[in-house]
Structure 1
């Protein structure tokens, strides 16, 4: 479903999302907001993905981490790819995956991931490839070739299995994220079917807020591929792996256009899942909270982001006047040198023009 710009949902009674003077969209206070006010709570991600090396140590539901100890809780009927910090988290996961479609998909993906590790690629992509060679036209040609590959796929399962490509752990992380989005699409589509098989009104489903926001996010596919040309082959290989491994229930939803949209919007909108302990932090994976993706960056932010289990909370760090834009900080502490901060922010494809950066550049 495509949502027009004038159908932007209201994310909070405290701010509005609108175009910024410098391009794109941002969040602006509708009235004065006092310091310490929570302006947005994102109860759950649209999808998340945990690095395989941490799957026994990080709760599959709330992302709790016990300093490297293996988690003890499991759930009946849930395969070994899911570990939980409590019986409550295990029960919540089972209720969310009530038809066992998601766990079936991840189980299949994990099984085939282990199998293809035995057949590493015979040729490696040159990571120093010329980024100027990646154009909108060349990217489209790559995906047209994938479409032709799909048309030639054999029907016999054993022959199809032999075509599953090698993927590495980082690509597996992307696969699990994409499977999560497809599963949420599957659930949403199922709920929108009335008894006669006709779509019901999407606005009648309050849990569609993540999807409405996700639909409006910008895809940074081309910018990312031009920065990292090796990803062209990586993403086409990831798609081929998914086409040959995900469960039958999700196959009708999987096509190159949908996959590219899912991955492209993840590239600049994902939030890292980190340990919550002070000191050195561990990176476990990432999650996508579409309703939180409209906060722009500043090296001197006026909002602080806090994760509590699966939820993200955004709280004001100072009094914010009516009409002022609200900012979070992307990835740095704000205390680094301006050139160091900008190098990190290049991953989001913009040049920071916040007051701190402008004053340091003078």
Structure 2
């Protein structure tokens, strides 16, 4: 069987179909405890939450624990732990710009987004969506169909056709309250799509969630961000600013992203999230045989016990405090966040701990 595009490749393991959880990673040979089986640095799509943006390096994700880094680029809203990380980030943006035929397009894209975020008044008390229901697939499709109707007018305006309907659509998008997380998250995905078109199928090969928005509030934020990006991004990126791309990013992110947390033992602060495509093929177990550890931008995966050939290699999707929950609590959390019923050995064995 051919490997899915973007899946991890190693003589130590293979990606195979599983009876109940899609594809998984299986040991191709016996693996000793403590073996590093995979290390990944390339993050395809990522975002740091706005509240931590001044405290987390935009390149290596080093958290300054409540203090702001001094190396800053105010025009893009990014901070860095060192000049070296700033240079690495700038090199990446230059590569993205060159991929679309310019020298500075990616820099202008980040500046345009930050200018929009800073220049538009925001509500002092944003509406909470904690208790809001997830929108249905039909509601999502309808919302995006309406967005595409507005997008037609914005594209016409960008092409130089100015009439009342076009001006109204642009004005409506640009005066809507910007959502920093949605804007920066979608922009990172658009830049990935524009600069690495051959890698885009790897993202599309990940397991989708057709109801990725946790609430109608988040759905509306993504749609508004899409229309705003269509109105402000440099011309070089406009072919990639469409509903297909902007819907695909959250569709694949919801069940495949890794949380970017502070690096103490329990990772107490949730700083943001990102997609490391090859890492998404590891399935979950509440008793994992593989540990994951983030070192800067790199995720390292190593075995925590001896592994037999043919055994599935599993990580845990649970954070530190979630791992000490009883079986019912863990299953409920996994069902809510990842939409599956855990059937690992710890949840189905004879010594399960229930409420």
- Is residue 2:83 matched to residue 1:87? yes
Shift of 1:113: 1.9
- The counterpart of 1:114, out of the listed 99, 115, 118, is 118
- The counterpart of 1:349, out of the listed 312, 333, 339, is 339
Change in Cα spacing, 1:38 to 1:117, as seen in structure 2 (3 Å) is same
- The counterpart of 1:104, out of the listed 93, 101, 108, is 108
Please give the root-mean-square deviation of Cα atoms over the aligned residues, in Å: 2.9
The worse-fitting range, judged by mean Cα deviation, of 239-248 and 319-328 is 239-248
1:1-362 matches, cutoff 5 A = 9=7, 11-74=9-72, 79=75, 81-98=77-94, 99-118=103-122, 134-153=135-154, 155=157, 156=162, 160-167=170-177, 171-189=179-197, 202=198, 208=199, 211-222=200-211, 224-225=212-213, 228-278=215-265, 281-333=268-320, 334-345=323-334, 346-359=336-349, 360=352
Inter-partner Cα distance in structure 2 for 1:116 and 1:217: 35
Shift of 1:229: 4.3
The worse-fitting range, judged by mean Cα deviation, of 97-106 and 303-312 is 97-106
Structure 2: segments with no counterpart, 5+ residues: 95-102
Change in Cα spacing, 1:229 to 1:358, as seen in structure 2 (3 Å) is farther
Shift of 1:120: 8.9
Inter-partner Cα distance in structure 1 for 2:120 and 2:67: 28
SS in 2 for 1:152: helix
Please tell me whether the aligned partners of residues 27 and 325 of structure 1 are also in contact (alpha carbons under 8 angstroms).
Answer: yes
TM-score, L = length of structure 2:
0.83
SS in 2 for 1:148: helix
Count the aligned residue pairs: 331
TM-score, L = length of structure 1:
0.82
Change in Cα spacing, 1:130 to 1:62, as seen in structure 2 (3 Å) is closer
Structure 1: segments with no counterpart, 5+ residues: 190-201, 203-207
Inter-partner Cα distance in structure 1 for 2:229 and 2:28: 44
SS in 1 for 2:59: coil
Q: Which runs of 4+ in 1 moved over 6 A?
A: 123-127
Inter-partner Cα distance in structure 2 for 1:286 and 1:215: 18
